[in-house]
A and B are shown apart, each in its own frame.
Chain A
Amino acid sequence: MGLNRKDLLGVKDLTVDEIRLILETAGPMKDIIGRQIKKVPTLRGKTVINLFYEPSTRTRTSFELAGKYMSADTINISTSTSSVVKGETLKDTAKTLEVMGADVVVIRHAAAGAPHILSKHLSAAVINAGDGFHEHPTQALLDMFTIKEKKGSISGLKVAIVGDILHSRVARSNIWGLTKMGAEVRVVGPSTLIPPEVEKLGVTTFTSLEEGLRDTDVIMVLRIQLERQQKGLFPTIREYARHYGVTAERVRLARPDALVMHPGPINRGVEIAPEVADGIQAVINEQVTNGVAVRMALLYLLAGGGNPHEAIS
């Protein structure tokens, strides 16, 4: 069985079997990254276009490496969405990429739903590399891969996602994925940064970091954006760090073998203390490696087989 879909737009639409397949395919891919010759010929002659409307070194590089390790031709297009009025519309960009014969288009965009627009106008596979506050499915998949690798299984684990849940696509994708895989998910943050009715996604909400971290197996720390403070969502960075910064002392409230994760880039001393980020429980660097493996798996699953689009009637 393969992934019976043209695109990866979000974790919300994935079945448990599909998530398992992606994570299981990522394992052999990770071995390739560990070899001296980090290349397989699988996607020879295929074109992967990284269409980034938001600055992102980390995710873009990860996709680029994944494509290159799989022998695809990767092209990066970085544009700014700061001016909506000038420049080409997303629809026209999609049509251009279509005639250029892209096989996979990876899109990062500040507007939720942008990958869905692209997908409508493209026969190529579309991978959502983060859209607004909506989803960042590959991040959640690499997080799940990392947890599974370290813990053996995701089911039954207590996972706390800490920080700005309201504006976090990473949080949303992880909530969908982790709950599907049987984890008990908590979201922790100031009430101004908790999205409305988030409990309906199957999570428990905590405003106290201490209570939220107690007995957890995984602490997932989110990056806090400075502009949230400027919009008045919390008083100062200092107060945020004091109440919601993940310190070594607070990590001790979790289980002794708890993992500390962060999608990066990290604000040391703000959402995470330096000694925690560099500590023995942190798996932040593994997340980066696993990101490449998971993205290789997705490139294979979406573009590596015959004509995956035939599956879509």
Chain B
Amino acid sequence: MALCEKAVILDADGIRRALTRIAHEIIEKNKGVDSIALIGIRRRGVPLAERLARRISEIEGKEVPIGILDITLYRDDLTTITHQPVIHKTEIPFAVDSKTVVLVDDVLFTGRTVRAALDAIIDLGRPEAIQLAVLVDRGHRELPIRADYVGKNLPTSKKEIISVYLTELDELDKAVIEVDTA
């Protein structure tokens, strides 16, 4: 696959502003962060959750617990994909019971990843509530799932590829539309 960048949706500043806004929304919606826990979905949900936690701590002066969720074992497409995904650890160092869990991911598309994440979290315990924060919502849902916090709503064509790059994993921060030129 040869990817070619078509348009930038969010640059580094855009991502920073979006996350700051989402942090405020989380605090506001939940009237504080006392029972909040952030769980990032591997891979790019993880640095996003960490950044959100930092913002929340800056705003509220309170640390929120962060967990990492690997949803591979819960995917519904394991039997159809050709390359078997490598399984990584799920690291959630707190009990999810009675917490309001905010799931964090980079792009919301079909909703299938979130469905897998919901199942995975429920196997870990019984949270008070589960909310969803995403940097980009590109539409084309295949399941009745919606995000509670959205960095940017972006109507896309199904063929387009939306990629988020984060400095923790990549060279720089940006969200872009790409096309497969191959």
Q: Chain B 76-113 against A: per-residue CB contact (8 Å), 1 yes, 0 no?
A: 00111111111111100000000000000000000000
A28 to B73 Cα, complex, angstroms:
10
Which of B57-65, B119-127, B130-138 lies on the face that meets chain A?
A: B119-127
* Cβ < 8 Å to B, chain A residues 91-136: none
Chain A contacts for B124, CB-based, 8 A: 35, 37
Binds B, one of A38-46, A60-68, A145-153, A186-194: A38-46
Return the CB mask of A1-14 against B: 1 if under 8 Å, else 0: 11100000000000
Asked whether, in the complex, the Cβ of A28 is within 8 Å of the Cβ of B70, the reply is yes
B91 to chain A, nearest CB (A): 8
Contact A31-B90, Cβ < 8 Å, known A2-B84, A306-B81, A310-B82: yes
Question: A2 touching B88 by the CB < 8 A rule?
Answer: no
Query: Which residues of A have CB within 8 Å of B82?
Result: 306, 310
- Which of A2, A28, A31, A307 has the most chain B CB within a 10 Å cutoff? A28
Point out the residues of chain A lying under 8 angstroms from B119, CB to CB: 41
How many pairs, one residue from A and one from B, have CB atoms within 8 Å of each other in the complex?
A: 60
Contact segment of A217-225, A265-273, A297-305: A297-305
Query: Is A274 an interface residue, CB under 8 A from the partner?
Result: no
Number of interface residues of A (CB under 8 A): 27
A27 CA to B87 CA in the complex, in Å? 9
Closest Cβ–Cβ distance, residue A66 to chain B (whole Å)? 13
Instruction: Check A31 against B84 for contact (C-beta < 8 Å).
Output: no
Let me know if A21 is at the binding interface, CB within 8 A. Answer: yes
- Count residues on chain B whose CB falls below 8 Å from chain A CBs: 21
B73 contacts A40, C-beta separation under 8 Å:
yes
Give A301's nearest chain B residue, CB to CB: B84
Q: Which residues of B contact A306 (CB under 8 A)?
A: 78-84
Which residues of A have CB within 8 Å of B70?
28
Residue of A nearest to B75 (CB): A42
The verdict on A300 contacting B123 (CB below 8 Å), with A42-B78, A305-B78, A306-B80 known, is no
Nearest CB in chain B: distance from A26 CB, A: 9
Name the residue of chain B whose CB is nearest to the CB of A305: B84
Instruction: State whether A35 and B84 are in contact (beta carbons under 8 Å apart), knowing that A28-B90, A305-B78 are contacts in the complex.
Output: no
Q: Does B74 contact A (CB under 8 A)?
A: yes
CA separation between A32 and B87, bound complex, in Å? 12
Which residues from B are CB-within-8-Å of A305? 78-79, 81, 83-85
A25 at the interface (CB under 8 A from B): yes
Q: Which of A67-103 contact B (CB under 8 A)?
A: none
Q: Looking at A24, A31, A41, A300, which has the most chain B CB atoms within 10 Å of its CB?
A: A41
Q: Which of A1, A42, A307 contacts B86 (CB 8 A)?
A: A1
Contact of B84 among A36, A37, A39, A308 (CB under 8 A): A308
Instruction: State A35–B97 Cα separation when bound (angstroms).
Output: 13
Contact of B88 among A1, A28, A39, A41 (CB under 8 A): A28
Query: Which residue in chain A gives the minimum CB-CB distance to B122?
Result: A37
A187 to B90, CA, bound (A): 38
Report the separation of the CA atoms of residues A300 and B87 in the bound assembly, to the nearest whole angstrom.
9
Q: How far is the CA of A200 from the CA of B88 in the complex (A)?
A: 37
Determine if A37 and B123 form an interchain contact, defined as CB atoms under 8 angstroms apart.
yes
Task: Report if A304-B89 is in contact (Cβ < 8 Å); known contacts: A35-B123, A37-B123, A40-B73.
Answer: no
Q: Are A28 and B79 in contact (CB under 8 A)?
A: no
> B120 contacts which chain A residues (CB < 8 A)?
40
How far apart sit A32 and B83, CA to CA, in the bound complex (Å)? 23
Q: Which residue of B lies closest to A21 (CB)?
A: B86
In the bound complex, CA of A28 to CA of B83 (Å): 19
- Structural contact, A28 and B78, CB atoms closer than 8 A: no
Interface centre among A35, A37, A39, A305 (most CB of B within 10 A): A305
Residues of A near B125 (CB, < 8 A) are: 36
The 9 A-B residue pairs with the shortest CB-CB distance, nearest first, are: A305-B84, A2-B84, A40-B73, A42-B73, A37-B123, A28-B89, A25-B87, A28-B87, A306-B81
Q: List 27 A-B contacts (CB under 8 A).
A: A1-B86, A2-B83, A2-B84, A3-B84, A25-B86, A25-B87, A27-B89, A28-B70, A28-B87, A28-B88, A28-B89, A29-B87, A35-B123, A36-B125, A37-B124, A41-B73, A41-B119, A42-B73, A42-B78, A300-B87, A304-B73, A305-B81, A306-B81, A306-B82, A306-B84, A307-B79, A308-B84
